[in-house]
Structures are given as C-alpha cells and as structure tokens.
Amino acid sequence: MVRDRVEDVNEHWHKMKKIMMETAQYICGMSKGPCRHKETWWWNEEVAEAVREKKIKYRKLKRENSKEARMEYKKCRQSAKRVITSAKEKKQKECANDLNDSDHENKMFQMAKQMVNERQDITGSDSLKGVSGNDCR
C-alpha cells in the first residue's frame, strides 16, 4: 500500500515537472547554449605545430613528472603563447587592411551578421503574460 502511494507521488511529480518544463519553454524559449567551437580565424600551420609540440611535452611531463620535463613544458608553453599571439596580431592586421579595401566591405558585414546570429538565443514571446493573456509589466 505504501509502495502504491510512492509510485503515485512519483508519477504525479513527473507529470507536474513535464507540464512546468513545457510551459517554461513556451514562455521563456530556449537558449542555443554556449558556442562549442572557439573561433580560430587566426589558426595556421605554425600555430598548429607549436600546440602539437606543447601537447607532446605535456604528456611527457605527466608520464615522467620530473623537473627537466617541467622546464621543457614551460619553455614550450611560453613559445606556443608567443606564436599564437604573433599569429593573432598578424591576422588582425590583415583584416584591418582588408577593411580599407572596397572589395571586402560586404564581407565585413556578412561576418558581423554571422557573429550576431551565432550568439543569439532562441526566445519565445517577448514578454511574460498573465493568466488572462495580458502582458505582465
């Protein structure tokens, strides 16, 4: 008899939860969530090689756990940071130079529109509504 009540309570809870979640989704909408892939418009072969080398040194550090391996990893990590920074700066300068060119003007607006769309949430209605259906403001 107690088990029947527990099952009834759990069943009622799941039904209530489902209704609340559907209502919240209808009223508030859903988010796309965070971007799964970081933007790497500056990535090139030089950066890839530096990161690959850094990963190798990191695995060696985890395997051996010695001072020499730690120093090698630190040096490699610093050089990878320098390579990444220089690649970013180089690509930013290229993009800035492209902005001055009239042929690339439309491309700039396309990129801006794409970035806005990627970061936009999926939303339901624009405002909360009460039981009567009127806006709650």
For residue range 95-117, what is the model confidence (pLDDT) as tens digits?
A: 778 777 777 767 777 777 877 77
- Residue 45 pLDDT > 90: yes
Average pLDDT over the chain, rounded to an integer: 81
**Distance between start and end Cα atoms, the chain:** 48
- Report how many helices (DSSP H) and strands (DSSP E) the chain contains, helices first: 4, 2
Residue among 113, 114, 135 nearest 126 (CA): 135
For residue 123, the cross-strand partners are 29
- Residue 120 pLDDT > 60: yes
Reported as type and span, the H/E element at residue 29 is: strand 29-30
Contacts of residues 49-58 at CB distance under 8 Å and 24 or more positions apart, as own/partner, are 50/76, 50/79, 50/80, 50/83, 50/84, 51/80, 51/84, 53/80, 54/80
Give the pLDDT band of residue 129 (cuts 50, 70, 90).
low
pTM score of the predicted model: 0.52
